Amino acid sequence: MKILVTAKRVTDPDMKIKIKEDGSGIDLSSMSFKVNPFDEIAIEEALRIRKDKGGEVVVVGIGSDKAQTEIRYGLSMGADRGIHVQVDGYMDSEVIAQILKSIVEKEQPDLVFLGKQAVDDDNNQVAQLLAEYLGWGQACFASKIEVNESKAIVEREVDGGIEIMEIDLPGIVSADLRLNEPRYPALPAIMKAKKKELQTLKPGDLGVDITPKVIVKRMAEPAQRKGGRMVADVPELVRLLKEEAKVI
Domain ranges of the chain: 2-222
pLDDT tens digits along 33-66: 999 999 999 999 999 999 999 999 999 999 999 9
- Would you place residue 25 in the very low, low, confident or very high pLDDT band (cuts 50, 70, 90)? confident
* The CATH homologous superfamily of the domain defined by 2-222: HUPs (3.40.50.620)
pLDDT of 65 reads 96
pTM of the entire structure? 0.88
pLDDT of 16 reads 87
* pLDDT-above-70 percentage for the chain: 100
pLDDT of 247 reads 87
Q: What is the mean pLDDT of the chain?
A: 94
Whether 246 has a pLDDT exceeding 90, the answer reads: no
- Would you place residue 143 in the very low, low, confident or very high pLDDT band (cuts 50, 70, 90)? very high
pLDDT of 7 reads 98
- In SS3 terms, 68-82 reads as HHHHHHHHHHCCCEE
- Would you place residue 221 in the very low, low, confident or very high pLDDT band (cuts 50, 70, 90)? confident
Whether 126 has a pLDDT exceeding 90, the answer reads: yes
